[in-house]
Structure formats: C-alpha cells, structure tokens
Amino acid sequence: MKVALVQISPILQDINKNFIQHLEFIEKARKQNVDLVIFPELSLTGYRLRDLVPEVAINPNHHNLFHELKQLSKEISIVLGFVEEKERGQYFNSAAFLSNGKTLHIHRKVFLPNYGMFEEAKFFNQGKIFSAFQTPFGKTGLLICYDFLHYGANYALFSQGADIIIVLSAAPGRGTSEKQAFASSHMWELMGETISRFSTLFLIYCNRVGFEDGKSFAGGSFIYNPEGKLIARASYVDEDFLIQGINLKDLSKARQRLLYKRDNKPEVILRSLNKAVIENEN
C-alpha cells in the first residue's frame, strides 16, 4: 500500500481555505495512486485556537465538508484532524478515518497537554478511550500528539491487535542540537522507534509545520516499520508531501522474529493495572 503524509501549515480558524488545501492534497495523492492520505492534528482548523474552538467546531455526522470528504474516500482513504462538536457545546480535539465513503472511526484526544505553553484542557473535553478498528489495510489505531507520548495508549492499541498506529500531531519544536532540527524532534522519533519495534506494527507520525503565535511546529513526520526501522522521514520544519510504500507482509516477518504480540498478556497487565488503580485510590 502507498501512504502520503501531508506536512502542512493550516491557517488558524479558516476552515474553508484549509478544506480547499485538503482537497488539493487529496487529489495530488490520488493521482499518484496513494491508498491512504494523512493530515496532521487539527488540520482543518489550525492548532492554537483558544476561544475560537466553538467557532470552528463541526459535527461530522451532518456537515457538508465531511460529506464531501466521505465521497472522496471512496477512492482514497483519508485521515484528518478537526474540532468536533459531539453534542451541543461539547468540543473535542478529534481525528477521523474515512474510507469507502464512510467514517470508519473517530478518535477523541485523551491526553490533552495542559502545562507550560499548552492549554488544551481549558478548551477541550477529554476523550475516553483508545480503540483499534478494521480498515482495508488492517487493524488500525489513531492517536493525537500527546496521546502517543503515553506508552499505555500505544499498548492498548497494540493489545487490541493494531497493525498500524497513526499519530496526528501539532508538536512545537524546542531546543537545538547538532542536527538541523529541533532537539524535541528526537523525542518523537525515539517513541516511534520504540513503539513500532516493541509492538511490531507500522508507526506513522504526521506532524505539521509553520508558526502560530511564535511557536514553530517541528515537522519531521515519519514512518517506522514493525522492526523499528525508520523507512521514511519528511523534512524538519519545512512543508513537505511524503509518499511512501508500505509492505504489510513485513508485519508477519517481524512477528516471526519479535514475539511480543504472541507473548503479550493483556489480562495480566489489566490485573496489574487494576491493582494500581485501587492502590492509587487509597
């Protein structure tokens, strides 16, 4: 299968312009026979919305833009980020997987960063669950940015049988290093390498670029294969459109050598987690 990562800089609040940009990249991907095109976190709206959250919120069940995207998904699967108004006045930082004319899944960001320069929990409701779901490419899980940095979230998707984890991100860069990239980009790659290898799955990370209020999104979108090898990386900081072929047979190959999936014991982990929850309550 062919995957496209659309590393762009959405315009804050301007859904219509962003939607047009989505259409352009979907078309570009379709022309190159891409099966799955992935956009970053909040790709329809921009990231640092603050009080603009209600203005850009949509309900994907009855919104014309989503209707149009679903039509397009008959030819190419689409993953994008948006502000979801699930019920009236209840806003989520969400990601949708569209395929075959349908919304296969909506993930609502669970871990909302709310420290330092981040203030998501002030403006968004928290998602409640991580669910892997069936897609034409295998079982898939969606994570949004800070979700991915919690290994339990990845573990949940792995234990549900995910072959692919897709991370939509809007990660601002921090720190410089020897590399021509923000030091913080290394943290994401470290997690990508670790999760992909120790869960034997494809880890696809799509970050954005551009500045919002002086914060520079770091780019550097990537794909790791199920053996923890980096197979593609987009440019750091600059806009990019990355197309990469993925061989799903690599999953079987990796799982013959690395037995984490076969030997996983979610029931033991769950029992242990229950113990932790009970003990933490006291």
| Residue 52 in contact with other proteins, rule: CB under 8 A | yes
Cβ atoms within 10 Å of 199's Cβ, excluding its own: 26
Shortest distance in whole angstroms from residue 179 CB to other proteins: 8
Give how many residues touch other proteins by CB under 8 A. Answer: 24
85 vs 212, beta carbon nearer other proteins: 212
Stretch that binds other proteins, among 6-14, 35-43, 194-202, 249-257 (CB under 8 A): 6-14
Alpha-carbon distance of 131 to 97, in angstroms, equals 12
Shortest distance in whole angstroms from residue 34 CB to other proteins: 28
| Residue 98 in contact with other proteins, rule: CB under 8 A | no
| Residue 89 in contact with other proteins, rule: CB under 8 A | no
Alpha-carbon distance of 277 to 189, in angstroms, equals 30
14 vs 189, beta carbon nearer other proteins: 14
Shortest distance in whole angstroms from residue 177 CB to other proteins: 6
Question: CB-based contacts of 44: which residues, under 8 Å, 6+ apart?
Answer: 10, 15, 18, 19, 22, 56, 58, 65, 80, 81, 82, 83
33 vs 176, beta carbon nearer other proteins: 176
| Residue 13 in contact with other proteins, rule: CB under 8 A | yes
> Pattern of binders to other proteins over 228-257, x per CB under 8 A?
---------x--------------------
First-to-last C-alpha distance (Å) of the chain: 49
52 vs 187, beta carbon nearer other proteins: 52
| Residue 187 in contact with other proteins, rule: CB under 8 A | no
Nearest to 96 by CA among 72, 78, 109: 78
202-221: contacts with other proteins (CB under 8 A) = 210-214, 216
Question: Do residues 234 and 220 lie in contact, with contact meaning Cβ atoms separated by under 8 Å?
Answer: yes
50 vs 275, beta carbon nearer other proteins: 50
89 vs 214, beta carbon nearer other proteins: 214
Binding residue for other proteins (CB under 8 A) from 1, 2, 14, 232? 14
Alpha-carbon distance of 34 to 84, in angstroms, equals 27
Name the residues that contact other proteins, by CB under 8 A.
Answer: 11-14, 48-52, 173, 176-182, 210-214, 216, 237
